[in-house]
Structure 1
Amino acid sequence: MTTASNPVPLSVLDLSPVSEGSTTAQALHNTVDLARRTEGWGYRRYWVAEHHFVAVASSSPAVLIGAIAAATSTIRVGAAAVQLGHNTAAGVVEAFGTLDALYPGRIDLGLGRSGQRRAEALAAARSGAAEEESHRATEVRDGLVIPPPYQPGPLLSSPRLAAGFAALQQPGAQAPDFDGQVDDILALLDGTYRTEDGIELHASPGEGADVELWVFGTSAGPSASLAGRLGLPFGANYHVSPGTTVEAVEAYRAAFRPSRFLDRPYVVVSADAVVADDDATARDLAATYGHWTHSIRSGHGAVPYPDPATSAPLSDEERSLVDDRLITQFVGAPATVAERLESLRRVTGADELVVTSVTHRHEDRLRSYELLAREWGLAALRAA
């Protein structure tokens, strides 16, 4: 595919997955290696996620971002996203202010809800408000598969997940209002922060930091509206919630107001992709993606990424829990995946796409990103 038909950049989202039989240390070394390689292949950004108490190594985004930024020189590095339910606004600004001081002009600070979203989803599940949406038929719009929305109520009520949330907060603490935390972060970065008593506080490092602020969301809910109202760029998670991504993007654009950050909406949309030299090889490499996703949605947390050579197929019952994720994973030869990514770009109007690829072997993941970069024409796009 030519850059003429694909004018948007590609970026990387890395969860630092731990493969079955490997270690967290190896996963972190793999992340740094992948960052170096994707910088050379022309990807615009390298983002890491925040996950806890599971078999991924990205539990401390700021620390990991520092290691990645030190190992690279031009690619933007950031978090997608810092979960504000587990962090204070001051702590986030000081951490990312430190990163910006060391690696100026290269740091992205993505913000996401965690404890807040869990409470809202549990309330919706108890009221039955989301039940009707879950029965919506799967739609194919201009080549993009849009399944019924996944309802996370059962997952978010799992005792294991509740224990994890509790362990990440001080005893008795409640996740604060997301909008208020974002306002505090903006004020701390600008140097205008005041306590309720009118006391000035100045973050050092942090105040004046040249970080690029993002808001991430999975639905047409508070995050999309907030990003629009503040005129911030928005990240929509097709790889997590493919049934609600289009609505999320539409809600963001409807709420958008020009700001000192942007004069028009800017959207990045994520996709899970596995690319190989041919479709059959890619399908083999992606054969245990459903197992891994099932471990998450069944409440057990992400297990070490299973080896396709030794894993039995999913049962029909297991597959039904993750079918929306399987039919929306982009798997195939470079042209196959590029065509599906182009559909995602057209339907959402994305200004940028961020790709997450997970395979059992690190070399297969490297090859996936390399083949996609070549097919998308990233080197030519970067030079343009």
Structure 2
Amino acid sequence: MSMDQHPNSQKNIPISVLDLSPVLEGSTVADALRNTLDLAQHVEKWGYNRYWLAEHHNMSGIASSATSVVIGHVAAGTSTIRVGSGGIMLPNHSPLVIAEHFGTLESLFPGRIDLGLGRAPGTDQLTAQALRRGRMSDGQDFPDLLDELRAYLAVPSDEHPLPVRAVPGEGLEVPIWLLGSSGFSAQLAAQLGLPFSFASHFSPNNTLGALQMYRRYFQPSEVLDKPYAMLGVNVIAADTDREAERLATSLQQQFLNLIRNKPGKLKAPVDNMDKIWSEFEKATLQQQLGSSIIGGPETVKRKLESFIAETNADELMINAQIYDHKARLRSYEIVSEVMNSK
């Protein structure tokens, strides 16, 4: 399906995967990366559209810090699914290096690579400083960095010759997406006529406002005729509502640890979260995870249909932080089944 088609029913909306390459408590980064490739190979068979990996640093529970490297690994182990970043945190990097990385990926896997870009550090301030070697940024220079990156990827022109060229990179069609959890990237994506991916999986209260801004101010471009919005959503699916609710306690514990500023590996599910969180923490988590869809096939189907109707999403990007790898595979399989059921 081309990006400029606007699906208006649940049946023909593409579904994609956001994989944070979770490192499980009691396991290793090597295990996490093996699970990532295995999940990618399964979802490719189940008809998922794209598979994105995210840049985070100094987090023991996320194995995809060298995002471009993991994208290459996943693309090499699959054959048709699009593979990309959700996202690369551009202020952490030289735009030239990102142009070269993704130019290399596109040269190796033509027509299959996406470049999703964010402006947050994807880490704490001390680690951001270590990444940027003192060139600190509050994200306000993101539009300039984006312009520089797009210039490196553009077809060379006699009118605007670049003294520094991205080889590989220049002249290659690497689709750029802007990622956001607020209005900043929504407005920029609209202004530049780029596709937009919103992080409703952890910023649900800003979703409708950001989408409204993106659609209202969208300017057609060489890339897109009309707005194209993909929404991240947590979906924890199992064969029964009860089992899904238990599996979801791993996600809840992960966010609880972030609130407590103690990020760690993904924990096994528990029977009762009330023994772990306070009432205040529970309320805070319910705000942050408010759009999460948790349940058996019928519950997931109903809630996905409602979410799509409310947001008019063009595509969904499913995140499933599930401790047991087989249960995680089953969750993505159920989502595929309910989205393709007649």
Q: What is the aligned-residue RMSD (CA, Å)?
A: 2.2
Whole-Å Cα distance in 1 between the matches of residues 289 and 114 of structure 2?
Answer: 29
Cross-structure match for 1:209: 172
Classify 1:295/1:102 alpha carbon distance in 2 versus 1 (closer, same or farther; 3 Å): same
Whole-Å Cα distance in 1 between the matches of residues 252 and 328 of structure 2?
Answer: 17
Cross-structure match for 1:304: 265
1:125-172, Cα deviation, whole Å (9 max, x unpaired):
xxxxxxxxxxxxxxxxxxxxxxxxxxxxxxxxxxx8221211211135
Whole-Å Cα distance in 2 between the matches of residues 85 and 185 of structure 1?
Answer: 11
Is the CA contact 2:106–2:112 (under 8 Å) kept in the aligned structure 1? yes
Among candidates 253, 268, 285, match of residue 322 of structure 1: 285
Cross-structure match for 1:113: 119
Classify 1:202/1:5 alpha carbon distance in 2 versus 1 (closer, same or farther; 3 Å): closer
Cross-structure match for 1:351: 314
Classify 1:260/1:56 alpha carbon distance in 2 versus 1 (closer, same or farther; 3 Å): same
Match for 2:45: what amino acid?
A: G
- Identity score, percent: 40
Deviation at 1:295, TM superposition (A): 1.2
Cross-structure match for 1:136: none
1:198-218, Cα deviation, whole Å (9 max, x unpaired):
852221000012211100111
Aligned pairs for 1:185-196 within 5 A: 185-192=149-156
Deviation at 1:174, TM superposition (A): 4.0
Among candidates 48, 70, 77, match of residue 53 of structure 2: 48
Secondary structure of the residue aligned to 2:124 is helix
Classify 1:42/1:318 alpha carbon distance in 2 versus 1 (closer, same or farther; 3 Å): same
Deviation at 1:318, TM superposition (A): 2.6
Cross-structure match for 1:178: 142
Classify 1:193/1:86 alpha carbon distance in 2 versus 1 (closer, same or farther; 3 Å): farther
Q: State yes or no: 1:86 paired with 2:47.
A: no
Q: State yes or no: 1:282 paired with 2:244.
A: yes
The unaligned stretches of length 5 or more in structure 2 are 1-7
Cross-structure match for 1:37: 42
**TM-score, scaled relative to structure 2:** 0.91
Aligned pairs for 1:111-260 within 5 A: 111-115=117-121, 161-174=124-137, 177-192=141-156, 200-220=163-183, 222-260=184-222
**TM-score, scaled relative to structure 1:** 0.81
Secondary structure of the residue aligned to 2:16 is strand
Q: State yes or no: 1:63 paired with 2:53.
A: no
Is the CA contact 2:181–2:199 (under 8 Å) kept in the aligned structure 1? yes
Q: How many residues align?
A: 330
Q: State yes or no: 1:376 paired with 2:334.
A: no
Whole-Å Cα distance in 2 between the matches of residues 71 and 341 of structure 1?
Answer: 30
Secondary structure of the residue aligned to 1:46 is strand
Cross-structure match for 2:254: 292
1:29-60, Cα deviation, whole Å (9 max, x unpaired):
00000000000000000001111111110111
Classify 1:224/1:327 alpha carbon distance in 2 versus 1 (closer, same or farther; 3 Å): closer
Whole-Å Cα distance in 2 between the matches of residues 291 and 305 of structure 1?
Answer: 8
Is the CA contact 2:200–2:232 (under 8 Å) kept in the aligned structure 1? yes
Cross-structure match for 1:269: 231
Secondary structure of the residue aligned to 2:79 is coil
Classify 1:215/1:327 alpha carbon distance in 2 versus 1 (closer, same or farther; 3 Å): closer
More displaced 10-residue stretch of structure 1: 53-62 or 325-334: 325-334
Deviation at 1:20, TM superposition (A): 1.1
1:174-205, Cα deviation, whole Å (9 max, x unpaired):
467110111111111114599x9x85222100
Whole-Å Cα distance in 1 between the matches of residues 335 and 110 of structure 2?
Answer: 29
Is the CA contact 1:193–1:202 (under 8 Å) kept in the aligned structure 2? no
Cross-structure match for 2:3: none
Whole-Å Cα distance in 2 between the matches of residues 346 and 276 of structure 1?
Answer: 23
The unaligned stretches of length 5 or more in structure 1 are 119-159
